[in-house]
Structure 1
Amino acid sequence: MDARSGSPRRLHAAAALLGLSVLADSALEHWRGSFENPGMVTPLLSSLMTIVVGARGAAGRAGAEQGRARSGVYASAVAAGAAGTGFHAYNVLRRPGGLSWMNLFYAAPLGAPAALSLSGLFGLAAQRLGRQAGTRTRPKLLRLPAGRALAALTSLGIAGTVAEAGLLHFRGAFQNPFMWLPVTVPPLASLAMARAATAPRRRHYRLARALLNVTAVLGIAGVGFHAYGVSRQMGGWRNARQNLLSGPPLPAPPAFAALALAGRAALSLLEARQ
């Protein structure tokens, strides 16, 4: 699978996986909020559509006649995520104490809606690269070489996910030593991708790829650790209806795997001098 044909499919897959993480996470969190605001249904619908079109794109079922509809779905995900970030920021600021640690810990998570926007951006990038795959022109995104633009976007995405994980693990007082892993290895992957975006050198790609692989493993293993955390709540899995809401979020860790997949697509383009 060459970079020009393989990278769009990897990006579609990353968009679908990130959309799946958002769907499950927002479903749990908004269920806990009793869907008090009708707009709380929006991220569920948007992420579900992103999963569908992303999975089809990753499977190679991305005909040109469906391109406009797919781009519309991805663009709506970007918009829904941006609007959700605004609503979550308002939720934090309107509480007594405003922007405080307590509100950042227990109010609407600021980083969650941004993941939906990121999913849409990866999908739009996949669409753009797919249209350019059959041409001789050098693939570009936002007037930048596609590999460098994607490396920068991946770096920012990993950094934001690390910040959210660090906030929640700080709330949990890092009581399990493994809770340090998401705030130590992924930041190195973020720095490696930033390096690839600003000063691409082939000798750095191997390290970046290794760090992305470890980040992906952490994203998968994190589900197991969070499942163990749920089991340690009072009643364990027998009281799943409550403990899934009060325990560590199961859908959050796969976001690291999705971002690592997008990072691999960026490195493939960089190695192909795209």
Structure 2
Amino acid sequence: MARLAIQQLDDITDAARPVASLLRFPVSPRRQAAARAGRQTNIAAAVLALSVLADSSVEHYRGSFRNRAMVAPLGAAALTLVASLSGGLDDRPQRHRGRDGVYALAAAVGALGLGFHTYNVLKRPGRLSWHNLFYGAPVGAPAALVLAGLLGRGAERVREGRRVMGLPAARVLAGVSALGLAGTVGEAGLLHFRGAFQNPAMVLPVAAPPVAASLLAAMAAAPSKPLGRVARLWLKLTAGLGLAGVGFHAFGVSRAMGGWRNWRQNVVDGPPLPAPPSFTGLALAGLAALSLLMESAGD
């Protein structure tokens, strides 16, 4: 009896399959490529949001959450992470309004945090000085949340193939990724300068990513396939550096007094473990934009 019921269900399914294929709207290869690039950019935003969430949690814990507003970036980053993971699993070539709203919120919270951190630096004695830039509220952290929001919104527009400010969304996304890489290089350079570049590997985050950012910006301005191939190599190198940086920072924590046995203090005061993946997230976004730019570029 059960076998007969299963056989009948299979027959109905086989009969309905041609009708379902007729009712399904065809998606062009170009739209499929745009949706795929959108998902990749969602994943890039997820990596960046996770980096911000972990970094802000450590930094604001060190600050004892003296200001109630210090909880806001954690909530915004967590929502952005969830929305981005959802977008990474969504293969539809349409923008999702809920995710788009979360990304707009993240960008707004990041912009406010950037203002707070800038005020924290400027209100200290000496105002804009190396000491205050080294030990004041890090400007790069809220800027990374802004970037996560912008990348997420860019992902939703890329998957629809929409234009932004009169330009193809892929070119705008490439430009934003290039600017984000440049800003992240500045933050890494500042902190590694504070560390006196005591490890020769500390030069890598301020040497390779600027090349990738420059090539990506050139692709955004004038796409070409030969340039895109070179840019892809440097972006992949930058993404790898971001992951390797976590290992280097973990090694730095182990060298502090007590090592990982004293992790409660050394993770807070040592090299920031969540910071290097920012390079990975921005490089992944650049690679997603690059794939679309190379498709539209001539030889």
Fold similarity call, TM over 0.5: yes
State the distance in 1 between where 2:186 and 2:93 align. Answer: 37
Structure 2 counterparts to residues 97-108 of structure 1, below 5 A: 97-108=126-137
Please state if 1:121 is matched with 2:150.
yes
State the distance in 2 between where 1:130 and 1:218 align. Answer: 28
Structure 2 counterparts to residues 125-164 of structure 1, below 5 A: 125-132=154-161, 139-164=162-187
What's the counterpart of residue 109 of structure 1?
138
Structure 2 counterparts to residues 153-232 of structure 1, below 5 A: 153-232=176-255
TM-score, structure 1 as length reference: 0.94
What's the counterpart of residue 61 of structure 2?
31
Tell me by how many angstroms 1:67 deviates: 2.0
Q: Tell me which amino acid in the other structure corresponds to 2:139.
A: L
What's the counterpart of residue 26 of structure 2?
none
Tell me by how many angstroms 1:61 deviates: 6.7
Structure 2 counterparts to residues 218-257 of structure 1, below 5 A: 218-257=241-280
CA contact (8 A) 2:208 2:234 kept: yes
What's the counterpart of residue 56 of structure 1?
86
State the distance in 1 between where 2:223 and 2:129 align. Answer: 39
Tell me by how many angstroms 1:234 deviates: 0.4
CA contact (8 A) 1:3 1:265 kept: no
Q: Tell me which amino acid in the other structure corresponds to 1:21.
A: S
What's the counterpart of residue 46 of structure 1?
76
Find the residue that maps to 2:69 and give its secondary structure: helix
What's the counterpart of residue 90 of structure 1?
119
User: What RMSD, in angstroms, separates the aligned Cα atoms of the two structures?
Assistant: 1.5
Structure 2 counterparts to residues 15-26 of structure 1, below 5 A: 15-26=45-56
C-alpha change, 1:229 and 1:242, in structure 2 (3 Å) is same
State the distance in 1 between where 2:44 and 2:164 align. Answer: 17
State the distance in 1 between where 2:91 and 2:81 align. Answer: 13
Find the residue that maps to 1:252 and give its secondary structure: coil
Task: String of CA shifts for 1:119-152, please: whole Å, max 9, x gaps.
Answer: 01111111122334xxxxxx42222122221111
Task: Give 5+ residue unaligned stretches, structure 1.
Answer: 133-138
Tell me by how many angstroms 1:69 deviates: 1.6
Q: Give the greater-gyration-radius structure (CA).
A: 2
Find the residue that maps to 2:73 and give its secondary structure: helix
CA contact (8 A) 1:3 1:272 kept: no
CA contact (8 A) 1:146 1:269 kept: no
Q: Tell me which amino acid in the other structure corresponds to 1:235.
A: G
Task: Give 5+ residue unaligned stretches, structure 2.
Answer: 1-28
Q: Tell me which amino acid in the other structure corresponds to 1:198.
A: A
C-alpha change, 1:61 and 1:197, in structure 2 (3 Å) is closer
Tell me by how many angstroms 1:76 deviates: 0.3
State the distance in 2 between where 1:49 and 1:204 align. Answer: 36
State the distance in 2 between where 1:158 and 1:92 align. Answer: 23
CA contact (8 A) 1:11 1:265 kept: yes
Q: Tell me which amino acid in the other structure corresponds to 2:68.
A: P
TM-score, structure 2 as length reference: 0.86
What's the counterpart of residue 22 of structure 2?
none
Find the residue that maps to 1:272 and give its secondary structure: helix
What's the counterpart of residue 73 of structure 1?
102
Find the residue that maps to 1:148 and give its secondary structure: helix
State the distance in 1 between where 2:166 and 2:65 align. Answer: 41
Tell me by how many angstroms 1:179 deviates: 0.3
Task: String of CA shifts for 1:53-89, please: whole Å, max 9, x gaps.
Answer: 100110127796x922211110000000100000000
C-alpha change, 1:41 and 1:62, in structure 2 (3 Å) is farther
State the distance in 1 between where 2:255 and 2:212 align. Answer: 31
Q: Give the number of equivalent residue pairs.
A: 267
Percent identity, aligned pairs only, is: 58
State the distance in 1 between where 2:160 and 2:262 align. Answer: 49
